[in-house]
Amino acid sequence: MRATSLRAGTGAGEARPVGLSGEALPYRSQAQRAGAAAGSGRRGPFRPWTRGRGPCIVRARRRGAAEGADMTDDSRAPSAPYDPGNIFARILRGEIPAHKVYEDEATLAFMDVMPQGEGHTLVIPKAPARGLLDADPASLAALVATVQRVARAVKTAFAADGLTIFQYNEPAGGQTVFHLHVHIVPRREGVMLKRHEGGMADPVMLADHAARIRAALDSTGG
């Protein structure tokens, strides 16, 4: 197969395929290509050139696009910057109390004050991150390790049949507190999750649940 490059033609928007040595390759005009596409029902931004024994498909640059522009750019950055005034950041700074169950140099786990089930626990990184998309990979790795450790203790503490573990990103994804956090909820067969907006839980109950999880962590060396 001969390597090819494209050489500008004389028609508006036209380009001609040429070999690396400069020789012209077999070519179909724009009108011929348009007629072939209409006859086949083919649509879309692909323009075929005939090269050798078969077609050479080249994607056309969008009209008016800058030369060399990346047409597939799809940013994964969060839609807003991190806000250090969020409630979880304030818990990390000790400005708001929490029923803590586990803490190390990189993460913190504590009870959700509006639980969707008994034992509903949150795990957060200490490094600031709005969500999964802007988290530092090292911080994210530490978070996942803590989620696994605490999830095992939660399942044991509440003799759960299983666990639901979930994490939201941005308002459209269900996120309401904009500091990266992971939910751990113990589950029992046939028991549905409560609504998260069901009101603040009894602090005495939350303290008891936290104590049960800490005891499970201690028993397993967590």
For residue 127, the tally of other CB atoms under 10 A from its CB is 17
pLDDT band at 62 (very low <50, low <70, confident <90, very high): very low
Say whether 196 is catalytic: no
Q: By mean pLDDT, which of 33-37, 94-98, 109-113, 179-183 is the weakest?
A: 33-37
List Cβ neighbours of 159 (8 Å cut-off, separation of 6 or more). Answer: none
pLDDT band at 34 (very low <50, low <70, confident <90, very high): low
Give the single-character DSSP code of 194: P
DSSP 148-172: HHHHHHHHHHTT-SEEEEE---SGG
**Residue 82, pLDDT above cutoff 90:** yes
**Residue 52, pLDDT above cutoff 80:** no
CATH superfamily of 87-219: HIT-like (3.30.428.10)
pTM over 0.95: no
Domain ranges (residues) in the chain: 4-59, 87-219
Catalytic residue among 120, 181, 183, 209: 181
Helix residue ranges, H only, 65-202: 87-92, 137-157
User: Percentage of the chain surpassing pLDDT 90?
Assistant: 58
Q: By mean pLDDT, which of 58-62, 107-111, 206-210 is the weakest?
A: 58-62
pLDDT band at 28 (very low <50, low <70, confident <90, very high): low
For residue 168, the tally of other CB atoms under 10 A from its CB is 18
Give me the pLDDT at residue 69, please.
41
**Residue 49, pLDDT above cutoff 70:** no
Q: What is the mean pLDDT of residues 153-159?
A: 97
Closest residue by Cα to residue 131 from 143, 115, 121: 143
